Amino acid sequence: MIINKRLLTAVVIAAAIGNVSMAKAASGNTSTAAGTASATVVAPIVLTHTTGASLNFGKFTVGAGGTVVVNSTGTGSVTSDVGFVPGGSSTTADQFSLTGDNSRNFGISTTNGTITNGSKTMSFTTAPSSTTGTTSATGTYSFTVGGTLTVTGTETPGAYTGTYNATVVYQ
């Protein structure tokens, strides 16, 4: 009887080993791995015109025509027959600021435009302080816009106003 019990125990152990080895074989037939998927959405780039700022070509006499140039730091100069009114002209460059993703490159472009006073117009071109930029580590940036105003000499005295567009695009 004692011998029989021992035999039975041995058989049970063998069966158990058999099951374990079968389980191992089955798991070796398939394998699963987790892939990683990732994407980054960056903060939108938002351009803001600085309140009160403008591209100001100052106060001048037209003479026989010429140009008024305002550089991106706001310093004005004239060509040909155009002359600033002494003491009465303060030229300024326009100012913009933007917010966006941190430390990201973007491009700056500005359009040409016209300024009008009644039926009289003058056309101007614009030039940003830089055509490309990189946002700061906190996602900010600011730039200025200068321009060149073409004066024909036929303009009537008065205040001329107009608009142009500035665009920033992530690169």
Partner 1 sequence: MHKIKHAVAVLVAGFGSLTAPHALAASANTSVVGGTASAQVAAPLQLVAVNALQFGSMAQPQVGGTLTISPSGAISTTGDMGTATAVMQTTARSAASFNVTGIAGMMFTATGVSQVTISNGSARMTVGQFTINGTFSGGQIGANGTYTFNIGGTLTAAAGQAPGTYSGTFPITVAYN
* Binding region for partner 1 (CB under 8 A): 25, 27-45, 101, 104-105, 170-171
68 CB-near residues (< 8 Å, 6+ apart): 57, 58, 60, 76, 77, 78, 82, 91, 148, 149, 151
Q: How far is CA 89 from CA 15, 42, 57, 84, 152, in A?
A: 103, 43, 8, 6, 19
- Closer residue to partner 1 (CB): 19 or 29: 29
- Closer residue to partner 1 (CB): 77 or 134: 134
Give me the least distance between CB of 145 and partner 1, in Å please. 23
Give me the least distance between CB of 144 and partner 1, in Å please. 24
The type of residue at 123 is S
Among all chains, which residue has been given the structure tokens 């699963």?
Answer: 32
Give me the least distance between CB of 124 and partner 1, in Å please. 29
Q: How far is CA 44 from CA 34, 132, 143, 153, in A?
A: 32, 17, 18, 44
The type of residue at 66 is G
Give me the least distance between CB of 21 and partner 1, in Å please. 10
Rounded CA separation 128/122 (Å): 20
- Closer residue to partner 1 (CB): 65 or 139: 139
- Closer residue to partner 1 (CB): 3 or 25: 25
58, with CB counted inside 10 A (0-12, 13-18, 19+), is: middle
- Closer residue to partner 1 (CB): 85 or 169: 169
Give me the least distance between CB of 106 and partner 1, in Å please. 9
Is residue 144 a contact partner of residue 131, using CB atoms and an 8 Å limit? no
